[in-house]
Amino acid sequence: MSSALLALDPDLVSLSPADPLNFTSIHGDVSAKEEGDVVVYQFRNKTFRLDKTKARERLAGKMVINGHRSAELNVLPLKYTEAYRIYKQMKANHWEPDVIDMSKDAHQWNTNALSPKERWIIEMSIGYFSAAEGIVGDSVLHVIEDNLTAAELKHASLRHIAEESIHMDSLLHIIGSLNIDLDEVTAKFQDIPSIRKKNAFITRHMPILKMGIDLTQTVNKQAFAKALFAITQVMEGTQFYALFAMVLSLHRQNKMTGIGQMFQYTLRDESNHIALGRYILTELINENPDIWTEAFRAELVEFMREGVELEKEFVCDCLPEDIVGMRQQEFLDYVEYNADRRLSSLGLPVLSRVRNNPFGWLDEVIFLKKEKNFFETRVTEYQTSGSVRNSNEDDLI
232-277 pLDDT, tens digit per residue, is 999 999 999 999 999 999 999 999 999 999 999 999 999 999 999 9
Domain 81-396 falls in which CATH fold?
Ribonucleotide Reductase, subunit A (1.10.620)
Contacts of 204 (CB under 8 A, 6+ apart): none
In the prediction, which pLDDT does 137 show?
92
Which residue in 377, 344, 341 sits closest to 356, CA to CA? 341
Give buried/exposed letters for 19-34 (b at 16+ CB in 10 A, else e).
ebbebeeeeeebbbee
Instruction: Give yes or no for a contact between 149 and 63, defined as CB atoms under 8 angstroms apart.
Output: yes
Res. 21 pLDDT band, cuts 50 70 90: very low
User: Residue 20: is the preceding peptide bond cis (ω within 30°)?
Assistant: no
CA distance 125 to 121: 6
Q: Where does the chain hold its CATH 1.10.620.20 domain(s)?
A: 81-396
Distance of CA 4 to the CA centre of its chain: 20
What are the pLDDT digits (tens) for 276-321? Answer: 999 999 999 999 999 999 999 999 999 999 999 999 999 999 999 9
Average pLDDT (331-355) is 95
CA distance 327 to 246: 10
Contacts of 30 (CB under 8 A, 6+ apart): 12, 13, 41, 42, 43, 78, 81
For strands 38-43 and 46-51, give the pairing.
antiparallel
Higher pLDDT, 38 or 20: 38
In the prediction, which pLDDT does 305 show?
98
Average pLDDT (39-53) is 82
In the prediction, which pLDDT does 71 show?
56
- Judge whether residue 26 has pLDDT over 60: no
pTM: 0.86
Cβ-based neighbour number of residue 56 at 10 Å:
16
In the prediction, which pLDDT does 11 show?
32
Res. 387 pLDDT band, cuts 50 70 90: very low
* Share of the chain residues as helix, strand and coil, in percent rounded to the nearest 5: 60, 5, 35
In the prediction, which pLDDT does 49 show?
85
In the prediction, which pLDDT does 33 show?
82
Percent of the chain with pLDDT over 70: 83
Phi (first) and psi of residue 30, to 5 degrees: -130, 130
Average pLDDT for the chain: 84
Res. 120 pLDDT band, cuts 50 70 90: very high
